[in-house]
Structure 1
Amino acid sequence: MNKIRPYILMVVLVVIFIIEFFLSLSIGSVHLGIKHIYNTLYNGIFSNVPIIAPSQGPFHDIVWLLRLPRILLAAIAGAGLAVGGAVMQAIVKNPLADPYVLGISSGASLGAVAAIFLGFGASFGANFIGICSFIGAFGISLLVLIISQIGKKSDSIKLLLTGMALNMACAAIASFIIYFANDKEGMQTIVFWLMGSFSGAQWNELHIIIPIVFLGIMFFWTQHRILDMMLLGDKTAVTLGINLRKYRQLYLLISAFIIGFIVYACGMIGFVGLIVPHVIRIFIGTCHRYLIPLAAITGAILLVMADVLCRIIINDTEIPVGIIVSLIGAPGFVYLIVKKSYSFGGEE
């Protein structure tokens, strides 16, 4: 298929995101008109009163305290997961890789299970589940790096195999804890958490998460040449005087750090990091100079849309966002595979 100019695609996606942003603010159990949204945003931005201050009216509370934090968290999580997926696919040179491929998901799950069923990290406060999941995700990533260094030098295959081994080990331990816990309330909590939710979005967390994820995306954008080189393989890179091993380790740690914060804020949300990079490659090719920003905006669009759907499909009930993402993404991914001529690396 003919490729689309990246700049045109970026403009189209930005316009879609802006439209989606205002629609997301208006849709919910209480419908808000554009005029109400505009006035509420304007008053919140230019007022001397802090936006989290109480008694500023129902429109202010709905927009500033409920919907806007959710939208921003969904957008930054989608952007981070999509870019993390693109980076991981380059690191391990595998089209089936996603941000959780090297054991990050199982490490996060084990941390959450230990927090919910064993009470680990209760001293961290109300967000102890997210904090423990972050520790588990980042800790497993460090362990993958350490183990992959044993014996011969680490490469993409060794990283992938090490991650798979630790993934199975952590999953087994988490399953063992759940099996013997006999805690129905804990089971409901862990199931909902493992499927992801933006209901806990808070401004004090967004002040930390948004800069971290944004700076991580910008960093990977500056590394587009190295990421392109990773798709060519280590042997080709060596002939050009580039040692990919140190870059691979650095990128893995930064990706794990970003994904850990996303998991901390909204739980586990799969499929975004797998499908979004593939969809973008179909339209613009494999150059990471364009793939990184386009994947970021597309991931943001996908999760904001999924968050709206999970709030409105069933009245007075919120469906875990991970279910919506899978229902949207899986059929679309199958369609793209069947209808488009595409292979990993962007060749037709």
Structure 2
Amino acid sequence: MSNLQAQAMRPGFDRALVTTRYGFWFVQLILAVIAIVSIGIAVSIGQVHIPLGDSFRILIYKLSGIEIGDIPSLLQGQGANIIWNIRFPRVLLALLIGAGLSLCGSIMQAAVQNPLADPYILGVSSGATLGATFAILIGFGSIGFLSQMGVAFGAFVGAFGAAMIVMVLAGLGGKMSSVKLVLSGMVVNALCTAFANFIIYVANNTDGIRTVTFWTMGSLAAAKWDKLPLVAIVMGLAMLFFLLQPRILNAMLMGDEAAVTLGVNLSAYRRLYLLLTAIITGVLVASCGMIGFVGLIIPHLIRGLVGSDHRRFLPTAVWIGGIFLVWTDLLARVLIPKVELPIGIVTALIGGPLFMYMLIKKGYNFGGK
């Protein structure tokens, strides 16, 4: 029996089921308030400090047209432009990316029944790196509109292509299994990494190599309003779909044999979930580069707090994943004066020790007490 199945059958698996409905919604309300406050703080702090009250007044006016205080004088200063055109889109993108990575990590851990699964287990990370490396160092040349799409398009194609190859390999010779998925992911990851390194080795482009290195560390510095609609639409549809799938996801935790007794065809659902998470992760990676540990750490943390029932687990994981990345991005901007760290470095510095603490404190039982 896998660690994930054992956790599903522990008494703790039903811990969230005994939580009252009002208690659950109260927690969601608290998390929403924390998210709003986090957004206000994140848009206020930076190289140019803006009072928190002024930041909220500017945002309220921009979003609703309601004037609180002396709005005309606030709009005339540089603070309004910094908040609305630079920091607010970046914070919103961080919230969406964090929520998306946490959601995909949660789905992947349930789908492959592996507590070490994250959104990149299907070779998405190496595929995206290969696509981005190709786009930066070689480019699409005169291939029609592709030459105008740039790094984001290359990263998405690479991520999605790698995930499809992994799924095909895992499905050869019989039924797809979690072990075959993990092994196929390792193979594709090695191949994509090798091709990406080959391109870097033969390329005579120092600036391009530096750009590839920075991209692989993840950054939200390029966040603009025109990037938000695609990410927001994809995330909205993904959350709507997966929040309606708690029964199937709970069955996945208990394993294939238990799911058969419940009349659930896990093989078909697993393929569907893996395909959707590959698309979602590809969009997220194309928007901000590689950001690790969010999809691995947050699901473990939330299972330890609310249990493994996906009716309560998924919404909570989405909120906390978004809030976590907002604060992580803030740290990346202010940790070193006048220097912005790649956000992937900060998430690794936080996620690594946190994961080690969880292993030592709780034991390796997939988030159980």
TM-score by length of 2: 0.87
Is 1:69 aligned with 2:118? no
RMSD, aligned CA: 2.2
Whole-angstrom distance in 2 between the partners of 1:57 and 1:124: 40
Q: 1:132 aligns with which of 151, 154, 168?
A: 154
Task: Look up the match of 2:103.
Answer: 83
| 1:106–1:170 Cα contact (<8 Å) kept | yes
Q: Which consecutive segments of 4 or more residues in structure 1 shift more than 3 A?
A: 1-6, 8-12, 121-127
**Structure 1 residue 156, shift from structure 2 partner:** 2.0
- Measure, in 2, the Cα distance between the counterparts of 1:256 and 1:325: 21
Aligned to 2:117: 97
Structure 2 residue 128 is the aligned partner of structure 1 residue 108 = yes
Q: State the distance in 2 between where 1:31 and 1:80 align.
A: 29
Measure how far apart 1:118 and its partner are: 1.4
Give, in whole Å, the separation in 1 of the partners of 2:60 and 2:141.
40
3-state SS in 2 of match to 1:293:
helix
Of 263, 267, 270, 2:285 maps to 263
Q: Secondary structure at the match of 1:246?
A: helix
Helix, strand or coil: the match of 1:245? helix
Query: How far did residue 231 of structure 1 move?
Result: 1.4
Task: Map residues 217-296 of structure 1 onto 2, 5 A cutoff.
Answer: 217-296=239-318
Structure 1 range deviating more: 10-19 or 90-99: 10-19
Residues 112 and 132, structure 1, Cα contact 8 Å, conserved in 2:
yes
Contact 2:304/2:368 (8 A) holds in 1: no
Inter-CA distance 152–203: structure 2 relative to 1 (3 Å threshold): same
Q: Is 1:121–1:132's contact at 8 Å kept on the other side of the alignment?
A: no
Q: 1:14 is matched with which residue: 24, 32, 44? A: 32
Distance in 1 (alpha carbons) for counterparts of 2:139 and 2:100: 29
Q: What amino acid is aligned across from residue 60 of structure 2 in structure 1?
A: Y
C-alpha displacement of 1:124: 3.7
Q: Does 1:174 align with 2:187?
A: no
**Match in the other structure for 1:39:** 57
Cα separation, partners in 2 of 1:132 and 1:222, compared to 1, 3 Å: same
Alignment match, 2:338: 316
Per the alignment, in what secondary structure is the counterpart of residue 243 of structure 2?
A: helix
* Amino acid aligned to 1:170: C
Which residue of structure 2 aligns with residue 51 of structure 1?
A: none
Q: How does 1:135-154 map to 2 (within 5 A)?
A: 135-154=157-176
Q: CA deviation at 1:223?
A: 0.8
Partner of 1:329: 351
What TM-score do the two structures reach when normalised by structure 1?
0.92
SS class of match (1:270)? coil
Q: Does the 8 Å CA contact 1:84/1:98 hold for their aligned counterparts?
A: yes
Runs of 5+ unmatched residues, structure 2: 1-10, 67-74
User: Match for 2:286: what amino acid?
Assistant: Y
Q: Secondary structure of 1:97's match?
A: coil
Find the aligned partners of 2:76 and 2:285 in 1 and give their Cα distance.
32
Pair 1:145–1:340, CA change in 2 (3 A)? closer
Tell me the amino acid that sits aligned with residue 37 of structure 1.
S
The offset of 1:209, in angstroms, is: 1.0
Aligned equivalents of 2:329, 2:149: Cα separation in 1: 21
**What are the superposed Cα offsets for residues 297-336 of structure 1, whole Å, 9 maximum, x if unpaired?**
1111111001111111222221100011111121122222
CA contact (8 A) 2:131 2:157 kept: yes
Query: 1:121, 1:128 within 8 Å by CA — same for their partners in 2?
Result: no
Most deviating of 287-296 and 10-19: 10-19
Paired residues of 1:195 and 1:323 also in contact (CA < 8 A): yes
What's the CA shift for 1:121? 6.6
In the alignment, residue 253 of structure 1 is paired with which amino acid?
Answer: L
Q: What SS does structure 2 have at the residue aligned with 1:222?
A: coil
Contact 2:102 2:317 in 1 (8 A): yes
Shift of 1:155: 2.1
Contact 1:85 1:273 in 2 (8 A): yes
Q: Which residue of 2 aligns with 1:307?
A: 329
Question: Which residue identity does 1:60 align to in structure 2?
Answer: A
Distance 2:169 2:104 in 1: 22
Q: Is the 8 A contact 2:44 2:52 kept in 1?
A: yes
Q: Give the distance between the partners of 1:94 and 1:38, measured in 2 at CA.
A: 42
1:52 corresponding residue in structure 2: none
- Residue equivalent to 1:208: 230
Structure 2 counterpart of 1:59: 79
CA distance in 1, matches of 2:227, 2:325: 18
Alpha-carbon displacement from aligned partner over 1:113-157 (angstroms, at most 9, x marks no partner): 111111137854665111100011111122222222221121222
Aligned residue for 2:206? 184
Instruction: Work out the percentage of aligned pairs sharing the same amino acid.
Output: 45
